[in-house]
Amino acid sequence: MKKTLYLKFIFAYLLFGLFGFIVVASFISDMTYDRCRQLEADRLYREAVTIADSYAADLYSAEVSLETVYRQLTALSHYTGTQIWILNPSGRMVVRSDTPLTQDDEVYVENFNPAVSAGKRYIEGDFFGFFQTPHLTVMAPITSNYKTSGYVVIHMESAAITKQASQLLNISWLELLFLLLLSLIILIFFTEIVYIPLRRITRATEQYASGNMHYQFTVDSEDEMGYLAASLNYMASEIARQEDDQKKFIANVSHDFRSPLTSIRGFLVAMLDGTIPAELYEKYLRIVLNETDRLKKLTDGLLTLNNLNTKGMLLSVSDFDINETIRSVSASFEQICREKNVRIRLILYGDELYVEADRDKIQQVLYNLVDNAIKFSRSSGDVQIETTERHRKVFVSVKDNGIGIPKDDQKFIFDRFYKTDLSRGKDKKGTGLGLSIAREIIRAHGENINVISTEGVGSEFIFTLQRSSLNDSYE
């Protein structure tokens, strides 16, 4: 495609040149010649009429001598580059500007017939066989006493008109050359502005089509071409990023599945070959059970994420009391808190605080955040859940004074499977999916979730929700 587009333009350019050449060489050349002939014929005819009315008429009325008329006409013919004759109606020459004639000279134009020019201003040809080369001839009758007593005939060599026409034609050739140069400049501009960027874009699409999504290219223009190139680049880098994410995701999933499976297999083999004695079975079966729990948690997490990721996640939005939801989530952690000696403190805005959201999904977000806060708390730590209202938004914060999150890790903790090095010792069962599930849910609501944390001091997760107008009716 790319080659032919350029060739097409070169071909169109050549065609344009050829067409211009043909037009100038034929039509314009003919038109110029016709025009010059017409102008010359008009001019000569006016001269012939003037001579017929002046010298020639005087000659026939014998007011001036032949000699005088001859001299006048010779001078005029030199000046105008013509031959001027005075002929009798019979074709006998009375005066001829290029040769002096006497009364006795009998020079005739054979077959002279003045009717040939009837209805026309001029005739073109050899003038009844008199000339060897073509001539343009005009004739004006000399009348006296209502009779035609002779003719003033002016000849001009056709070659002189051709010369004049070709001088005029040179201007048209120059114009054509100028046009060709101008269109060559346009062609060069086209190549620079359209063709070269287009070729780069085509080459890039070929690379993308063959799977090389990391191919980068630049088109340095701020027009549609530049915009197209930038969009293509962006599209390719997005696809490349998604491919990388997918690879990373699969590597993470395989890794997280492999470690519990390996340990389960290890214990089962040890039981079968007797390395683990029967009296210790219960202990190891509990470990196996724990590992299967972890696998189940992992699959559940993946399934949830997958469902959340599907575009246009369906939310069943209703108005509900977030304070009440927080109370019930914290109640479900009572047993764990007692075991870890962690205290949950609730600082809730008003008795009831209605929000517009999907209750089950927000409950899951709260569950994941409180679960983390307790997991990463030190024993006898505090977890504080707080609700506030600002600018028609409800802010929910889950804060702990646990191990905290190192600064460099903070931007990754919402990614799938991400766990900080700090947390690995504290939470062996963690999947690294809890926060990414929370973020997907909050994003699906069009809201935000953020973290503020200091390593060794604690973490606070804050998310926003749409405040319900139900609150107004309770105020």
* Residue ranges in contact with ligand ADP by CB under 6 A: 368, 372-373, 376, 400, 402-405, 413, 418-420, 423, 427, 430-436, 459
Distance CA 169, CA 30 (A): 10
Question: Smallest distance, Å, CB 410 to ligand ADP?
Answer: 9
Closest approach, Cβ 334 to ligand ADP, in A, equals 19
Q: Residue 141: which of 130, 124, 153 has the closest Cα?
A: 153
**CB-wise, 150 or 458, nearer to ligand ADP?**
458
Helix (H) or strand (E) holding 39: helix 29-51
Give 271 or 422: the residue with its C-beta nearer to ligand ADP. 422
Q: Which is nearer to ligand ADP, 420 or 471 (CB)?
A: 420
Nearer to ligand ADP, 20 or 404 (CB): 404
What are the residues whose beta carbons fall under 8 Å from the beta carbon of 325, sequence distance 6 or more? 359, 362, 363, 366
The distance of closest approach from Cβ of residue 241 to ligand ADP in the complex, given in angstroms and rounded to an integer, is: 21
Pair 110, 128: CB distance under 8 Å: yes
Residue among 273 and 421 whose Cβ is closer to ligand ADP = 421
Q: What backbone torsions phi and psi does residue 8 show, to the nearest 5 degrees?
A: -60, -40
Shortest-Cβ-distance residue relative to ligand ADP? 430
Cβ proximity to ligand ADP: between 20 and 402 the closer is 402
d(CA 243, CA 212): 11
CB 426, min distance to ligand ADP, A: 8
DSSP 337: H
Instruction: Calculate the CA 304 to chain-centre distance.
Output: 41
Q: Minimal distance in Å, beta carbon 411 to ligand ADP?
A: 11
Give dist(CA 426, CA 407) in Å, integer.
Answer: 19
| Least distance from ligand ADP to the Cβ atom of residue 319, Å | 28
Sheet bearing 93-96, strands edge to edge: 93-96, 83-87, 147-157, 135-144, 123-125
* 385 three-state secondary structure: strand
- 263-266 long-range Cβ contacts below 8 angstroms, 24+ apart: 263/287, 263/291, 264/288, 264/291, 264/292
> Whole-number minimum distance, CB 416 to ligand ADP, in Å?
8
Nearer to ligand ADP (CB atom), residue 425 or residue 446 = 425
